Amino acid sequence: MKIKAIYPGSFDPITNGHIYIAERAAKIFDEVIVSVLINERKNGAFTIEERCEMARKSLSHIKNIKVDSFNGLLIDYVRQKKAGVIIRGLRAMSDFEYEFQMALMNRQLAPEIETFFIVTDPKYSYVSSSSVREIFHFGGTVNGIVPDIVFEKLKERYQN
């Protein structure tokens, strides 16, 4: 039986920390769908199309990964895709409480769906999309934290 997993998030933008999690997930599961949340309550820095495009280009080296977007409840989307697993990355203990609560809530709503946690590489434990955006917003740059395509997009967005 093939197991399909969903790796959901805002990915605004995707970072090397996310890519690390996606690469590891792709070694475990037959198919991984990186799914960008369409959040009507939150204005993102990048549009959903831009986020998907950056994710697609950054993950094109992994054959069993697809990129998609979704809105509404995550578990409805997971069921619609006929996936059995939700992937989440853990960077630090501070992520744990939020992730634990979300996993339990999703289990309550959909007991057949499993949440699978993958621990980040320590070198990305401090990385977040908002900190990356802020650095570029204030004229800084960072190497090795985002893929080249994202680096260029951030420079274009904030520094031109």
Q: Which of residues 47-76 bind ligand COA (CB under 6 A)?
A: 73-74
CB of 59 to ligand COA, least distance (A): 14
Residues belonging to the active site = 18, 42, 91, 129
Closer by beta carbon to ligand COA, 124 or else 136: 124
CB nearer to ligand COA: give 60 or 96: 96
Least distance between ligand COA and beta carbon 1 (Å): 25
Contacts of 132-140 spanning 24+ positions with Cβ under 8 A:
132/13, 132/15, 133/12, 133/13, 133/45, 133/158
Q: Which residue number, 58 or 120, has a Cβ lying nearer to ligand COA?
A: 120
Pairing verdict, β 114-119 and 31-37: unpaired
The site map against ligand COA for 90-129 (x = CB under 6 A) is -x----------x--xx-------------x---x--xxx
Q: For the chain, how big is the Rg over CA atoms in Å?
A: 15
Cβ-based neighbours of 157, under 8 Å, separated by 6 or more: 45, 46, 136
Taking Cα atoms as reference points, which of 136, 80, 95 lies closest to residue 9? Answer: 95
* Dist CA 49 CA 47 (whole Å): 5
Query: Among 4-12, 23-31, 51-59, 151-159, which window interacts with ligand COA (CB under 6 A)?
Result: 4-12
